[in-house]
């Protein structure tokens, strides 16, 4: 890998701001690990949200024209019932982020058209979003 490609890779690492229980979690898989990809017309991002359940987390993802992304949600108390088994297991959170509200904020490399955003919360706890780049970036500066 040459120096030019290495410098380009470093530019794509956005500063990430964590608040609430996302900031407190220090053991186990980190909440808020981010990968960002670019194409000619769009950006794709993937955010690790271990411990977040799609149906209980009140997950919201807001994208502004300047490329700022803010993800808000709620990590519910860790407890699960196994269906079809007479034994009930109560989980104690030790390796995941503790229960409570969280936010993850970062900025994409350039302006976007926030209306053209497709989010997907995958079963593996990763929020994936594709958003189109802004065609007329001067309008949003």
- Condensed to tens digits (0 to 9), the pLDDT of residues 122-139 reads 888 899 999 999 876 555
Cβ–Cβ under 8 Å, residues 22 and 31 = yes
- Closest residue by Cα to residue 36 from 124, 116, 103, 131: 131
- Condensed to tens digits (0 to 9), the pLDDT of residues 42-94 reads 999 999 888 777 666 688 999 999 999 999 988 776 544 444 456 665 555 55
Q: How confident is the model at residue 18 (pLDDT cuts 50, 70, 90)?
A: confident
- Closest residue by Cα to residue 71 from 39, 99, 48: 48
The whole-number pLDDT of residue 75 equals 77
Helix H or strand E encompassing 11? helix 3-11
Give the predicted TM-score (pTM) of the model: 0.66
């Amino acid at each position: 890998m040459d120096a030019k490609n290495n410098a380009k890779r470093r530019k794509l690492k956005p500063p990430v701001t964590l608040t609430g229980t996302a900031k407190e979690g220090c053991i186990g898989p980190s909440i808020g690990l981010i990968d960002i990809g670019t194409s000619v017309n769009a950006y794709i991002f993937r955010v690790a949200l271990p411990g977040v359940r799609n149906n209980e987390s009140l997950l919201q993802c807001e994208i502004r024209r300047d490329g700022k992304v803010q993800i808000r949600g709620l990590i519910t108390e860790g407890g699960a019932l196994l269906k079809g088994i007479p034994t009930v297991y109560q989980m104690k959170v030790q390796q995941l982020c503790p229960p409570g509200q969280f936010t993850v904020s970062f900025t994409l490399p350039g302006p976007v058209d926030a209306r053209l955003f497709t989010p997907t919360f995958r079963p593996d706890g990763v929020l994936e979003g594709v958003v189109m780049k802004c065609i007329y970036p001067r309008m949003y500066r």
